[in-house]
Structure 1
Amino acid sequence: MKKLMICMLMLFTMCPIGYAEPNQTNNNEGTYGFTPLKLTKPLLPTAPRDWKLVIKTFENCFLLIYLDQNDGFITSISEYSRRPITPLNETKHTLFNNTTYYYDPWQSNQRGWMLRWVKGDVYFEMNSFTLNVDEMITIAETITEQIKE
């Protein structure tokens, strides 16, 4: 079980960028095509108290990983500077409180969801195989409420 957990943490600590196109920058500040993160600290959702939080900070994103009491993966949330959302083959969307949430099933044999949205200058991506889309949107709303446009 520990080996599985370590593999999952390694997978999600790489700050997934495969589903978004990079912003074009005209400077040579070493940002590798992405704009630097404008947030100074991660926006934390309201989550159950028994969930453990692991935060990873990268040059262009914050990665929040939530684990259960047995260190089992619940969800990950990546926070980037604003970027366009690239639809995938099975992308669906819903509008909730003036925010459009895009969701896709995982492109693997394991059941799971990826939820993406943009609010203000921040692009968010949430992944989970234990939560359904409605639960993910409920958690996402607690983050979205913190952003003033």
Structure 2
Amino acid sequence: MTASIPRTTTLLLALGFALPALGAEQNLPDAAADRFKFLDANSDGVLSKYEYDGDAAFATMDSDDNASLSAAELQAILGPPQKGTPTAAARVVAADLDGNGELGDAELRRATEMRFSWLDRNQDGNLDLDEMRSGFGVRVRPGD
């Protein structure tokens, strides 16, 4: 169960919706550092694609086991909507390629890959803390 927690966090990052609401006083760079440390499972100072992927997150978030993620399931993970951040429904729409109102495994994998590639500025296949900070809380759009 504890292995799925980092993957849930990863999924949210992959969707480009990292919330700065880790504490009202906490600024984005500090939140990025905390999130980075949490995700760095082997404590090697970089995040690999394996540490960043969303396999376990999908299984954890898909509470009704229907192989798709609804806005309600995403909202349950995110908590109450925060002022100035997109709703769970808007987040699902952003990644919902087939327009069915839910996210399937392939849509989540695509979002994860896109986010990781966007953050990996030096294209070395890993994310360091500076790369994580540079994109933390920033929404990724196709073509960025």
Q: Output the TM-score relative to the length of structure 1.
A: 0.25
Larger radius of gyration: 1
Higher relative contact order (CA 8 A, sep 6+): 2
Normalised TM-score (structure 2) = 0.26
Q: Hey, which of these two has a bigger chunk of strand by percent? A: 1
Q: Which one has a larger percent helix, Structure 1 or Structure 2?
A: 2
